A and B are shown apart, each in its own frame.
Chain A
Amino acid sequence: AQKVTQAQTEISVVEKEDVTLDCVYETRDTTYYLFWYKQPPSGELVFLIRRNSFDEQNEISGRYSWNFQKSTSSFNFTITASQVVDSAVYFCALKRGGATNKLIFGTGTLLAVQP
């Protein structure tokens, strides 16, 4: 069975703090893909990153970084020096490696960054 768990329902931080959003996944596949999406208060879903199961390199993009660890089945997302504009719901999602169309979402983490 495929499953994504985002145990943190809500996180509140003060601007400039670092924050890590946790994502734990379950799958028996050897090939799979992990995604992060951002849903700002305006409601749209914005794609942030995709990672395949064979690439455990950490990724950094500006203030955003992602830590993929197969040993713990985790794909965590860190925002450094958070800003008010980072306030959003963040979703982690999993997809199997074959020709499948099912994107399995976690329940999301609401991040509130206070000024």
Chain B
Amino acid sequence: NAGVTQTPKFRVLKTGQSMTLLCAQDMNHEYMYWYRQDPGMGLRLIHYSVGEGTTAKGEVPDGYNVSRLKKQNFLLGLESAAPSQTSVYFCASSYGGAGWETQYFGPGTRLLVL
């Protein structure tokens, strides 16, 4: 099992450009999440999905869109990148959404917006 994988690993964008980050999991998990990690702030939830075809907003959703067309994939889109979106993005998945469910994380995508 590869677990949770993310593509790409690193990307540089210019302000105003768009891009899509891909997350894939092979654990048959229902729930998937996108977080961003900024220095001194820990990880913050951007969007999440409780199953194929569903998405919901997290703590910091502005400037991002997501889609979950297939159970194993969760896409994070930036329509018009801004320097404030420079961050490390982590995807995670869990079998369910209950409090005791453990979230398993991908290796991260480092994004630099110039």
Q: Which residues of A contact B (CB under 8 A)?
A: 4, 31-33, 35, 37, 42-47, 50, 52, 91, 95-103, 105-108
**Partner-binding segment picked from B19-27, B42-50, B65-73, B76-84:** B42-50
Q: With A43-B88, A44-B108, A105-B42 known to touch, is A35 a contact of B99 (CB < 8 Å)?
A: no
Q: Which residues of B contact A100 (CB under 8 A)?
A: 97, 99
14 A-B pairs in the complex with CB atoms less than 8 angstroms apart: A4-B42, A33-B100, A42-B107, A44-B107, A45-B43, A47-B104, A50-B102, A98-B98, A100-B97, A101-B58, A101-B97, A103-B45, A103-B103, A107-B41
**Distance, CA A35 to CA B42, complexed state (A):** 14
**Distance, CA A52 to CA B100, complexed state (A):** 7
Residue pair A108, B102 in contact (C-beta under 8 Å): no
B9 to chain A, nearest CB (A): 9
Q: Which residues of B contact A (CB under 8 A)?
A: 31, 33, 40-45, 48, 50, 56, 58-59, 88, 90, 92, 94, 97-100, 102-108, 110
Residue pair B42, A108 in contact (C-beta under 8 Å): yes
Q: Which residues of B contact A99 (CB under 8 A)?
A: 97-99
**Extra pairs beyond A103-B33, A105-B42 (10, CB < 8 Å):** A42-B107, A44-B107, A44-B108, A45-B90, A45-B105, A47-B103, A97-B99, A101-B48, A101-B58, A107-B42
Q: Which residues of B contact A37 (CB under 8 A)?
A: 105
Q: Which residues of B contact A105 (CB under 8 A)?
A: 42-44
Q: Which residues of B contact A4 (CB under 8 A)?
A: 42
Q: Which residues of A contact B58 (CB under 8 A)?
A: 101-102
Residue pair A44, B106 in contact (C-beta under 8 Å): yes
Q: Which residues of B contact A46 (CB under 8 A)?
A: 105
Residue pair B105, A95 in contact (C-beta under 8 Å): no
